[in-house]
Amino acid sequence: MARPTSTPTETLIRTFRKAAARVPGYRALLADSGIRPEDIKTIEDFRRLPILDKHKTFQRFRMHELSLDGKLGPIRWVLTSSGQSGIFSFGLYDPPGAEAYKVRIDEALDAIFQVRTRPSLLLNCLPMGVKLYSDYCTLGETSVRADMACGLMKAFGEYYEQTILVGEPAFIKHLLEVGVERGIDWRARLVHVILGEELVAENTRKYIEHMLGTKPGDLETGLVAASMGVGELGLNLFFEVPPVAPLILLRRALQDDGRLRRDVLGPEATTVPALFNYDPERIYVEFVDGKLVITTLDPTRPIPMVRYSSDDDGCFLELPESVRGVLESLGLEWDSLRQLPIVMVRGRGKFVAAAGGRVYPEEIKEGIYHDVQLAKLTTANFRLLPGVSAAKVRIQLSPGVEPGERITQSFSEAISHYVTSPVEIACEAYAAFGNGMSVNYERKFDYLSAT
């Protein structure tokens, strides 16, 4: 069910009317739904508007038809979606929007890491095409080249007070492991990590914290935090920080304390969804039939989106009063948590059926990273396939690691902590894995497949 944020209704209606008056494609969508723009006056009216997605917008209309006044004006940047669904969608930045985006990045980095006053090396390890900008950090653009990132660290790391790595979870895992092989002592330096591109399993964070020798939510030894964007809507729409620690510590508490997790998330919960904060002046957030729906409020957007579904499952987090004492005993400020607009994002809701139950890739991810030493033996890539009596999980081992009964049994036991339906585990040598065995990290890995 949708819950209003602190965004004034007037701003939301004004955003809608701008799109209805000036975007040809959106006018056509409203006409298809039999909606007259002048009838939309209240938040209840707003919730009658059609839910958009990339099929109804980018697949149906040409770019100028989705743009203000039907014109593709001066565009400085284009951000491309992953294309995992088979359809590419695009986020456009005109010159004012591009400048605002650059300022927003530096403001966020400074709010978290104080980059204006602390010499900082920022390594962008996101796949090529996802750009970062900073006037306060020294920026290295390595894309998904672990050798390049390690070379920069060895040559420049000692000259900076802190290093910030930005990348996808599996690649950051790979980078840190390659760095150790190449003689980099990550624990000897102050290294922070911002994870994006896909939702982060909490045990993945634990693994990265172990590699860095840091603690959850700890700026002094190295912060590991997650961010979530939607290519066509913008980067870093949802974030764990700032504020620096509350959401990270809350998720860790829910992960580690089974009773607390069940009290907050329900008796069946074996994993904890991603927990994010967001800026209600930048986006308006709803959950409609369990799906995340976003309206962009930034007036600089050349393509405004009204009630756009990212196809992610989730809901707003409501903390029951009964857990207040437990959370405060862990150092979490109850009033501060209650003031944050916290969303839980579970993923795309995809699963495979097995013996009447469901197995989600998010559960498998937690299992793969359940044990630090075991996680080192795999690339963290896997295929989840349906089965009659049990779901099948094919796990790709790291180069040089040979499959065997002992490793398979260890992964089976680790995954059983999070998956209640029966599963069959098969650990396969790196080169024998086949599907995506080259693992170039340029595109999102498809965890669910028919093979």
- The helix (run of H) or strand (run of E) holding residue 13 is helix 9-22
pTM metric for this prediction: 0.93
Mean pLDDT in residue range 255-276: 95
pLDDT number for residue 350: 87
pLDDT > 70? residue 6: no
Answer whether residue 290 is part of any domain.
Answer: no
Q: Up-side HSE of residue 74: CA atoms within 13 Å toward CB?
A: 4
Instruction: Give a yes or no: residue 373 inside a domain.
Output: yes
Helix residue ranges per DSSP H, 114-227: 146-156, 169-181, 202-212
Region 184-213 average pLDDT = 96
Q: Per the structure block, which two tokens stand in for 232?
A: 């066509």
Q: Are 395 and 368 in contact (CB under 8 A)?
A: yes
| Number of structural domains the chain divides into | 1
Asked if residue 19 has pLDDT above 60, the reply is yes
In a domain, 127, yes or no: no
What range defines the domain where residue 418 resides?
352-428
Residue 52's contacts (CB-CB under 8 Å, 6 or more residues apart) are 29, 305, 306, 307, 308, 309
User: Is there a domain that residue 327 lies in?
Assistant: no
Q: Is it the case that residue 301 has pLDDT exceeding 50?
A: yes
Q: What is the mean pLDDT of residues 268-276?
A: 95
Inform me whether the pLDDT recorded for 366 exceeds 90. yes
Angstrom distances, CA of residue 342 to CA of 29, 238, 338, 451: 31, 9, 8, 37
pLDDT over 90 for what percent of the chain?
76
Residues in Cβ contact with 181 at an 8 Å cutoff, skipping those fewer than 6 apart? none
Q: Does a structural domain hold residue 393? A: yes
Secondary element (H or E) of residue 55: none
pLDDT score at 450: 64
Question: Would the pLDDT of 3 be above 90?
Answer: no
Whether residue 23 is contained in a domain is answered as no
In contact, 96 and 225? CB cutoff 8 Å: no
The verdict on residue 177 lying in a domain is: no
14: Cβ contacts below 8 Å, ≥ 6 apart: none
The 3-state secondary structure of 334-398, one letter per residue: HHHHHHCCCEEEEECCCCEEECCEEECHHHHHHHHCCCHHHHCCEEEEEEEECCCCCEEEEEEEC
Over 90: is that where the pLDDT of 279 sits?
A: yes
In this structure, the dihedral spanned by the alpha carbons of residues 433, 434, 436 and 439, taken in order and rounded to 10 degrees, is 60
pLDDT at 276: 97
Residue where the block lists tokens 């950090």: 137
What six digits make up the tokens of 354?
């097995």
Instruction: Specify the pLDDT at position 80.
Output: 79
On whether residue 173 sits in a domain, the answer given is no
More confident residue, 83 or 37: 37
Cis peptide bond N-terminal to 280, omega within 30: no
pLDDT of 245 > 60? The answer is yes
User: What is the pLDDT at residue 7?
Assistant: 56
Give tens-digit pLDDT for 98-109. 898 899 999 999
In this prediction, residues 164-185 reach a mean pLDDT of: 96
Contact 173, 380 (CB under 8 A): yes
Q: Which amino acid is at 289?
A: D
Tell me the two tokens of residue 32: 């298809």
Q: What is the CATH number of the domain that holds 389?
A: 3.30.300.30
Secondary structure in 3-state letters for 398-448:
CCCCCCCHHHHHHHHHHHCCCCCCCEEEEEECCCCCCCCCCCCCCCCCCCE
* pLDDT tens by residue, 201-237: 999 999 999 999 999 999 999 999 999 998 889 889 9
Assign 147 a pLDDT band (cuts: 50, 70, 90).
very high
Percent helix, strand, coil in the chain (nearest 5)? 35, 20, 45
Q: What would the mean pLDDT of 189-197 be, rounded to a whole number?
A: 95
Per-residue pLDDT band for 155 (boundaries 50, 70, 90) equals very high
pLDDT of amino acid 406: 96
